[in-house]
């Protein structure tokens, strides 16, 4: 009996940390963050990308934003100019307007806009300026970009899986993010203890859309900030990996970069 109890305690001590994440940052503590990545196809660098969350000029609003720009050598064969941006309320990260402008290859630029009306519980999608039918949305819903920032501010308990309502203007789904394991990761921006998570937003467009049966993994810093330092997707044409090359924020306190707790300046934001 004692042996079984001891074994159970060992198993619990090993399994529990895999799911449990440290208390998350607030949205205000994330404001001003800008992360830079190198995107690789296999071992070949193909693009530069950024991910950021910045305060908007209008009080109470913020911008979440991701950009991707192919490197000069790749431009000759398959130019990429992608920009995804959402204007959201800082209080709850609910979207006001979401835009995606994408040029992938030598074709025309594709532009998509989602306009949210939370009072009436609907969103309307515009494809290259053409209005599409309204879609009824849940009371609490995120756009395909801001859902990732929202996850970073959520408590992760129990089995390590968090459910997040997401819409792309075509469909509403309950996406999920599942904690898999912990790993030590080396990047051009530094070495990090990370927790590996797997988002599942099947059927939804956006930065986490994927090919059928493909997988997406994200390595987040295993601290309060949960900053993505590596992202990987296996698709039909190979593996794409984004690795962190630089981090920027609006705070003067450089210790935030590796700290598990926010500075006093951050707490006063």
Per-residue model confidence (pLDDT) at position 8: 35
Which candidate, 218, 197, 196, places its Cα nearest to that of 207? 218
Model confidence, pTM: 0.81
pLDDT recorded at residue 2: 40
* Tokens linked to 85: 């941006």
What is the reported pLDDT for 252? 43
Rounded CA-CA distance 262/202 in Å is 34
With cut-offs at 50, 70 and 90, classify the pLDDT of residue 250.
Answer: confident
Position 19 scores a pLDDT of 60
Residue 184: predicted pLDDT: 96
Residue 106 pLDDT level (bands cut at 50, 70, 90)? confident
Q: Across residues 123-142, what is the average pLDDT?
A: 94
Residue 93 token pair: 């990260």
Q: What is the pLDDT of residues 162-188, one digit of tens each?
A: 999 999 999 999 989 999 999 999 999
Percent of the chain with pLDDT over 90: 60
Min mean pLDDT across 49-58, 66-75, 180-189, 212-221 is at 212-221
Task: Give the pLDDT mean for 52-80.
Answer: 92
Do 174 and 163 meet the contact criterion of CB atoms below 8 Å apart? yes
Q: What is the 8-class DSSP label of residue 84?
A: E
Average pLDDT over the chain, rounded to whole? 82
> What is the rounded CA–CA span in Å between residue 22 and residue 261?
10
> Taking 50 as the threshold, does the pLDDT of residue 146 lie above it?
yes
For residues 22-42, give the mean pLDDT: 94
Domains of the chain, CATH where assigned? 17-267 (2.40.360)
């Amino acid at each position: 009996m004692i042996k079984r109890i001891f074994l159970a305690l060992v198993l619990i001590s090993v399994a529990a940390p895999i799911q449990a994440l440290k208390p998350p940052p607030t949205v205000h503590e994330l404001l001003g963050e800008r992360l830079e990545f190198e995107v690789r196809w296999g071992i070949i660098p193909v693009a530069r990308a950024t991910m950021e969350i910045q305060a908007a000029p209008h009080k109470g609003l913020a911008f979440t934003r991701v950009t991707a720009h192919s490197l000069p050598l790749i431009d000759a064969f398959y130019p990429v100019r992608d920009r995804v941006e959402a204007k959201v309320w800082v209080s709850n990260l609910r979207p006001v307007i979401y835009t995606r402008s994408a040029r992938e290859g030598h074709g025309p630029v594709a532009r998509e806009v989602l306009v949210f009306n939370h009072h009436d519980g609907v969103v309307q999608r515009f494809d290259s300026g053409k209005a599409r039918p309204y879609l009824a949305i849940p009371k609490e819903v995120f756009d395909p970009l801001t859902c990732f920032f929202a996850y970073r501010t959520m408590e992760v308990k129990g089995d390590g899986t968090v459910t997040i309502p997401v819409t792309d203007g075509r469909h509403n789904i309950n996406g999920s993010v599942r904690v898999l394991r912990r790993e030590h990761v080396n990047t051009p921006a530094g070495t990090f203890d990370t927790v590996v998570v797997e988002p599942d937003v099947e059927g939804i467009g956006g930065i986490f859309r994927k090919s059928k049966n493909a997988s997406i993994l994200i390595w987040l810093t295993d601290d309060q900030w949960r900053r993505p330092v590596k992202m990987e997707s296996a698709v039909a044409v190979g593996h794409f990996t984004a690795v962190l090359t630089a981090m920027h924020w609006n705070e003067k306190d450089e210790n935030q970069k590796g700290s598990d707790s926010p500075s006093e300046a951050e707490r006063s934001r």
